[in-house]
């Protein structure tokens, strides 16, 4: 039994279900201010309590989940959609000018922390969810490019690839038909890891005011709003903080579980 996979899938499913349900229903409206109920502790009416504007924290967490998930999904999609083809192209033309250019661009982006790049882009082009997606997606490109290039290079000397080249298949066709299916498990595992990092990056950008803008709820901005009232109502900070921790933990466990399940060597070791 793969415990990490089960726990990670359960935690991730709870967050995903909460985000999907929020499109149709939330306990309270997230844009309704109720000063009379501000900073209320968790009770039978507000299960997770209320914030400094009297908004229901459970509703805010549910809607904030879809914001974080949407940003992370699109950002990882950008990184994978651009980075994987670049990595496969570089591996297919190892030692060429194209390979050198792609490798140096990867090194250039990796020289700067991802959050610094994201802050720079959103500061130049303006705050908002779209710019946060672009910023996080740009950093994901070299991650997938380097991973796919390294994994593909180890396959280009294999017998079945040499047979495909002898049969007259082009490098592009070999990359799509033979290389990509054999590295898909690595890309899936890395995708879950980058997904969790994307949620952290989105929360960080929202915390400093460069992510999703009001009135759209965001876990990072909920933390930023709560930092001055921790001593008065600690649950206002604990709730979004735990949402981020449990979501990232679930995705990391899911990634570890998928790695164990998809890696033949690890499967044999467990057996």
Domain borders along the chain are: 3-17+50-270
Other Cβ atoms within 10 Å of 264 Cβ, number? 8
Tens of pLDDT along the chain (271 residues) come to: 688 899 999 999 999 999 999 999 999 998 888 888 899 999 988 999 999 899 999 999 999 999 999 999 999 999 999 999 999 999 998 888 999 999 999 888 888 776 777 778 777 877 788 888 888 888 899 999 999 999 999 898 888 888 988 888 899 999 999 999 999 989 999 999 999 999 998 998 899 888 888 888 999 999 999 988 888 899 999 999 999 999 999 999 998 888 888 765 555 444 4
What's the rounded Cα separation, in Å, for the pair 123 and 196? 23
**Torsion angle of C-alpha atoms 190, 144, 79, 71, degrees rounded to 10:** 20
pLDDT at 127: 79
Pick from 46, 42, 212: nearest CA to 122: 212
Non-local (6+) Cβ contacts of 122 within 8 A are: 128, 131, 132, 135, 205, 210, 211
| Distance separating alpha carbons of residues 46 and 42, to the nearest angstrom | 6
Tell me the C-alpha distance between 35 and 53, whole Å.
6
Selection from 85, 211, 69 nearest residue 141 by Cα = 85
Q: What is the pLDDT of residue 1?
A: 62
Residue 197 makes CB contacts below 8 A (sequence gap 6+) with 114
Report phi then psi at 245, rounded to 5: -60, -50
**CA-based nearest residue to 137, from 76, 60, 219, 69:** 76
Report the SS3 class of residue 263. coil
How far apart (Å, rounded) are the C-alpha atoms in residues 203 and 244? 8
Q: Give yes or no for a contact between 229 and 52, defined as CB atoms under 8 angstroms apart.
A: yes
**What fold is seen in the domain 3-17+50-270?**
MetI-like fold (1.10.3720)
Give the model's pLDDT for residue 264: 57
Residue 56's DSSP bridge partners are 50
Residue 41 DSSP code: P
The candidate with the shortest Cα–Cα distance to 72, out of 251, 207, 254, is 251
Q: Please report the pLDDT score of residue 213 as a whole number.
A: 85
Q: What is the pLDDT of residue 138?
A: 87
Tell me how far apart the alpha carbons of residues 107 and 182 are, in angstroms, rounded to a whole number.
25
pLDDT of residue 270: 46
* Amino acid 265: pLDDT: 57
**pLDDT score for 266:** 52
Which of the 8 DSSP states describes residue 169? -
């Amino acid at each position: 039994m793969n415990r990490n996979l089960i726990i990670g899938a359960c935690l991730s499913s709870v967050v995903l279900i909460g985000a999907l349900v929020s499109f149709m229903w939330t306990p309270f409206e997230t844009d309704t201010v109720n000063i009379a109920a501000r900073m209320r502790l968790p009770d039978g009416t507000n299960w997770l309590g209320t914030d400094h504007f009297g908004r229901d924290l459970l509703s805010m967490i549910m809607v904030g989940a879809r914001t974080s998930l949407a940003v992370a999904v699109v950002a990882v999609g950008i990184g994978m959609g651009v980075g994987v083809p670049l990595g496969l192209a570089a591996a297919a033309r190892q030692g060429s000018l194209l390979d050198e250019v792609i490798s140096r661009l990867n090194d250039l982006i990796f020289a700067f922390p991802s959050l610094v790049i994201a802050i720079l882009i959103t500061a130049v082009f303006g705050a908002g969810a779209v710019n946060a997606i672009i910023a996080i997606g740009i950093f994901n490109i070299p991650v997938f490019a380097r991973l796919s290039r390294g994994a593909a290079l180890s396959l280009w000397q294999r017998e079945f690839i040499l047979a495909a080249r002898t049969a007259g298949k082009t490098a592009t066709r070999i990359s799509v038909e033979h290389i990509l299916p054999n590295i898909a498990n690595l890309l899936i595992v890395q995708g879950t890891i980058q997904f969790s990092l994307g949620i952290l990056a989105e929360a960080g950008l929202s915390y400093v005011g460069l992510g999703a803008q009001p009135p759209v709820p965001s876990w990072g901005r909920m933390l930023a709003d709560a930092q001055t009232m921790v001593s008065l109502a600690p649950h206002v900070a604990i709730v979004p903080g735990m949402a981020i921790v449990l979501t990232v933990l679930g995705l990391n466990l899911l990634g570890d579980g998928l790695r164990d399940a998809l890696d033949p060597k690890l499967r044999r070791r467990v057996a």
